[in-house]
Chain A
């Protein structure tokens, strides 16, 4: 089966611009998670979708970040306007509905975002 796909793999944008990251989960996986690793620090949870609904968005840093999951399939994470501190690696993971525990996760390779 195809894995979790994220694109772009790298993105370099200027401060103030908008960037949209995309995650395509494994087909049929209801759970989709976004995580972020900023500047060599720990990976932090951003939010969790169950199908198209936001189950938990407690990790979203501020209202410059908007996540959507259209029709319960792929998800996008938009940063608008981007700030320097948004630079980092954004990870997506998905899991089946009955396997929310992390050992059911499949991670993507991440998107490295650099804001200059």
Chain B
């Protein structure tokens, strides 16, 4: 079964600095998707960034980028120039698509931004 592990329950960073959130996963599939979701307090979960496993190039969305290491099954999220609005729970998630139509999530990382 596929699993996703986020080993950092909490992280904090100074405003304007860079922080990296870690995620590892386990799968025997070769074609899948990986996602980072953000959930601000008491608000809906939104998609931050996605990566297709067949793409070697790391995805980037403005200040958010990923380091996708397929062989190592690692998918970390880098947030540059951290802003107060980045404070949230961040969830890493895996999706296969060929089988059940469902996301497999990690445990989440609570990110605090210090002003």
Which residues of A does B touch, CB under 8 Å? Answer: 3-4, 9, 31, 33, 35, 37, 40-45, 48, 55-56, 58-59, 91, 100-103, 105-110
Contact = CB atoms under 8 A, between A and B. Distances in A.
B101 A55 contact: yes
A42 B107 CA distance: 4
Interface string B92-106: 010101001111111
A39 B16 CA distance: 31
B64 interface: no
A103 B47 contact: yes
Contacts of A101: 33, 95, 97
Interface of B: 4, 9, 33, 35, 37, 42-47, 50, 91, 93, 95, 97, 100-108
Contacts, number: 67
Given A42-B108, A105-B47, A9 B33 contact: no
A31 B9 CA distance: 31
Contacts of A37: 105, 108
A103 B50 contact: yes
A45 B47 contact: no
Contacts of A58: 100
Contacts of B104: 42, 45
B106 to A, nearest CB: 6
Contacts of A44: 105
B44 A109 contact: yes
A3 B44 contact: yes
A102 B47 contact: yes
A56 B101 contact: yes
A43 B44 contact: no
